[in-house]
Amino acid sequence: MGETLLRLRGVQKRYGGVRALRGVDFDVLAGEVHALVGENGAGKSTLIKIVSGAEVADEGTVEIDGAPITGGSTQAAMEAGIATVYQEPHLFGELTVAENVFLGRELRTNGRVDWAAQRTRVGELLAQIGLDPAIGDVRVADLPVAEQQLVSIAKAFAHSAKVLILDEPSAILTDREIEVLFGVVRNLRAAGVGIIYISHRLDELSQISDRVTVMRDGEVVATKPTSELTVRQVAELMVGHALGSATADRPAPTGDPVLAVSGLGRSGAFTGLDLTVRPAEVVALYGLIGSGTDAIARALYGVAPADAGTVRVDGRQVRLHSPQDAAAAGIAMLPGNRKQQGVFANKSIAFNISSAHLRHLAKLGFWFDRRKERSIAEDFLRRIAIKAPDVGTAVGALSGGNQQKVVLARQLVRAPRVLVLEEPTQGVDVGAKEEIHRLVLELADGGSAVLVISTDLPEVLQLADRVLVVRKGAVVREFERGASQADVLAAAAGDEGETAA
């Protein structure tokens, strides 16, 4: 491994009252993949934002090749050779793929943008990460999400960087897309690039990283060669205490199905879906992104209604044309995209929890019972350790994991008959993950039916009594508890050669 490319010393950052970073030392060497892990809110993204100039450190120094960079200018950081893929992909729907990839650093020949050069270069990049090279001048808004995420990764490779930062790139990638990603990362490492790799999928670390730095509460608790650490050790370092084994073996569920779906379909998304979930049963739908699982979830919740088939809850056939219908039928849903579909960021925890139960919390039909709202919220704050001083806290002030808990709490207020969970623990740390799994199983044990829709295979296998594999909008196979990762993945990926999209 080569000389030190990036050196942080005593970096501190405060957001209003929150101390996001408290004196962090951190190095990246040439030709190493340096994994950065930590619970939600540990400070990883903040660290990244400072290195990449999106934020200015309150104290401490950042050096690239021994040259200190003054934060606050993303431009300067890029010129210094830092490329970043941020946690949430930032793309511009109205601009083409090529324009997005080169945004801010267009290829120029004597001042003017060299569109031809960009098109050829973007072609290579897209090919590299397994996308159709021809989509270079397609509007990004016209691409499916998965491809958008890949584009945002292509962006990071567009320029020869000294240090490449990947903040949870795998969070919304499917395993085969991750493989593509790793391939590119390994090439870059070989080329002497220093890579910072942030992820909550600890199992990835051993495959890709050389060193691991664990953060907790804005501090670095350990930096070790990956070879010297087991996944469990890393996890325990992150949460700061020993972990109990999570896998619960639960009694085989019995009784008439709570949720019975037959022949459900939505043109262009999925077809002929049959599935039943019995009381206290957890069923998972597993599929690669674009397989249509998300569409199934939206159909069951009435957001994007199905145009064929029937849904029965406790034997009664229900009409699902809007979330209101779903709620009336006893179906609740934890949406997959926390930021866009989940939280009201600048509103309080109480507001966020009560927002789906306004009628339930109404007196005389219109007067809103704020006392009841408060007591419900405080109850949840106690029951599920949400890290917040009080229920008046704005949800935006919480880290990803805690935000997720709040959104989940919203679904649990009136224990629903059917709970649909879409990517329940995406971008959530191990500690919070355990917590969320516990809550879900609690609900199930109460006799509700739980349908998990996830692209996180270990989670699926751990949580579900049955796994239905979906490909191209149809269920292709069913597995009982205890199936092997390899089998499920193979079923989901289908035969070689076809693109994940």
Partner 1 sequence: MTEIETVPAAERARGEGIAARVLRIALTERVVLLAVLLVVVVVWFRVLGAGGYLVAPYDVRYLGNALESMVPFALLAVAELFVIVSGRGGIDLSVGAIVSLAGMAFGFMVGVWEWPLLPSIVGCIVVGALLGAVNGALVAYVRFPALIATLATYYAYSSLALISNGNAPISTPPVVALHSLTRNVNFPEPLPPVPLHVFTILLPCALLAWVVVSRSTYGRSLYAVGTNDVAAAYATQSVARTRFTAFVMSGLLSGVVAVVTVGQFASARPDAGIVGNGMALPAITVAVLGGVAIQGGIGRVGGVLVAALLVTWLNAGMLLAFPEGAEGSRYQLLALGLVLVLSALLNTVALRRYGRLS
Partner 2 sequence: MTSTATTAAAAPTRRRPRVRAIEGQEIALIGVVGLLWVVLSLVTDTFLTTGNLQNILFTVAPIALIGIGMTAVIVTAGIDVSVGSQAAVVMVIVALLVRDSGLPFLPAVAVAVVVGLVLGAVNGLLVAYGGIHPIIVTFGTLNIYRFVSLQIFGTEQVAGVPPTLAPIGGGAEGKLLGVPTAWWLTLVLAAGMWCYMRFWATGRHLYAVGGDAFAARLAGVRVRRRQISAYVLTGACVGLAACILIGSGGLVQQNVGTGLELRVIAAVVIGGTSIIGGRGTVLGTVLGALLVGTVSSAVTLLSWPSELAQLFIGLFILVAVGVDLLRERRRSAR
Ligand X SMILES: Nc1ncnc2c1ncn2[C@@H]1O[C@H](COP(=O)(O)OP(=O)(O)OP(=O)(O)O)[C@@H](O)[C@H]1O
Backbone angles phi, psi at 47, to 5 degrees: -55, -45
Q: Which is nearer to Mg ion, 87 or 213 (CB)?
A: 87
Q: Which is nearer to Mg ion, 45 or 348 (CB)?
A: 45
Report in angstroms how near the CB of residue 71 gets to ligand X at its nearest.
Answer: 8
The span of 12-20, 34-42, 108-116, 232-240 binding partner 2 (CB under 8 A) equals 108-116
Contacts of 403 (CB under 8 A, 6+ apart): 338, 342, 343, 395
Among 74, 233, 276, 310, binds partner 2 (CB under 8 A): 74
Burial of 4 (0-12, 13-18, 19+ CB in 10 A): middle
Identify the CA nearest to 407 among candidates 473, 335, 474.
Answer: 335
Given ligand X, Mg ion, partner 2, none, residue 86, with its beta carbon under 5 to 8 Å by kind, binds partner 2
| Paired tokens of 219 | 């501090």
Q: Does 20 bind ligand X (CB under 6 A)?
A: yes
Given Mg ion, partner 1, ligand X, none, residue 37, with its beta carbon under 5 to 8 Å by kind, binds none
d(CA 85, CA 156): 6
Q: Does 12 bind ligand X (CB under 6 A)?
A: no
Tell me the C-alpha to C-alpha distance, in Å, between residue 435 and each of 3, 345, 398, 425. Answer: 41, 22, 16, 10
Given ligand X, partner 1, Mg ion, none, residue 348, with its beta carbon under 5 to 8 Å by kind, binds partner 1
Pair 194, 28: CB distance under 8 Å: yes
Q: Which is nearer to partner 1, 240 or 396 (CB)?
A: 396
Q: Does 213 bind Mg ion (CB under 5 A)?
A: no
CB neighbours (10 Å) of residue 382? Answer: 9
Contacts of 311 (CB under 8 A, 6+ apart): 259, 260, 261, 264, 300, 317, 318, 320, 329
Q: Which is nearer to Mg ion, 41 or 416 (CB)?
A: 41
Q: Determine the 3-state secondary structure of 354 from DSSP.
A: helix
Identify the CA nearest to 289 among candidates 460, 455, 171.
Answer: 455
Q: Does 454 bind Mg ion (CB under 5 A)?
A: no
Q: Does 84 bind ligand X (CB under 6 A)?
A: no
Q: Which is nearer to partner 2, 71 or 473 (CB)?
A: 473
Pair 377, 384: CB distance under 8 Å: no
Among 17, 66, 94, 365, binds partner 2 (CB under 8 A): 94
| Alpha carbon 383 to chain centroid, angstroms | 24
Q: Which is nearer to partner 1, 18 or 441 (CB)?
A: 18
List the x/- string, 387-426, binding to ligand X by CB under 6 A.
----------xxxxx-------------------------
Report in angstroms how near the CB of residue 52 gets to partner 2 at its nearest.
Answer: 7
d(CA 321, CA 304): 8
- Region 42-71 residues binding ligand X, contact defined as CB under 6 A: 42-46
For residue 418, the cross-strand partners are 331, 449
Given partner 1, Mg ion, partner 2, none, residue 45, with its beta carbon under 5 to 8 Å by kind, binds Mg ion
Q: Which is nearer to partner 2, 167 or 210 (CB)?
A: 167
d(CA 267, CA 304): 11
Pair 161, 83: CB distance under 8 Å: yes
Which position has the token pair 């992820």?
199
Q: Does 293 bind ligand X (CB under 6 A)?
A: no
Given Mg ion, partner 1, partner 2, none, residue 87, with its beta carbon under 5 to 8 Å by kind, binds Mg ion
Instruction: Please tell me the number of Cα atoms within 13 Å of 188 on its side-chain side.
Output: 31
Report in angstroms how near the CB of residue 70 gets to ligand X at its nearest.
Answer: 10
Please report the sign of the dihedral spanned by the C-alpha atoms of residue 454, residue 455, residue 460, residue 466: positive
Q: Does 45 bind Mg ion (CB under 5 A)?
A: yes
Identify the CA nearest to 101 among candidates 110, 90, 109, 111.
Answer: 90
For residue 479, the cross-strand partners are 467
Q: Determine the 3-state secondary structure of 311 from DSSP.
A: strand
- The site that binds partner 2 (CB under 8 A) totals a number of residues, namely 51
The span of 84-92, 378-386, 401-409, 452-460 binding Mg ion (CB under 5 A) equals 84-92
Report in angstroms how near the CB of residue 59 gets to ligand X at its nearest.
Answer: 16
List the x/- string, 127-166, binding to partner 2 by CB under 8 A.
-----x-xx-xxxxxxxxx--x------x-----------
Report in angstroms how near the CB of residue 499 gets to partner 2 at its nearest.
Answer: 7
Which position has the token pair 């501090």?
219
What are the residues binding ligand X (CB under 6 A)? Answer: 15-16, 18, 20, 38, 40-46, 72-74, 87, 397-401, 427
What are the residues binding partner 2 (CB under 8 A)? Answer: 52, 54, 74-75, 78, 84, 86, 89-96, 99, 103-106, 108, 112-113, 115, 132, 134-135, 137-145, 148, 155, 268-269, 290, 292, 294-295, 304, 337, 340, 472-473, 499, 501
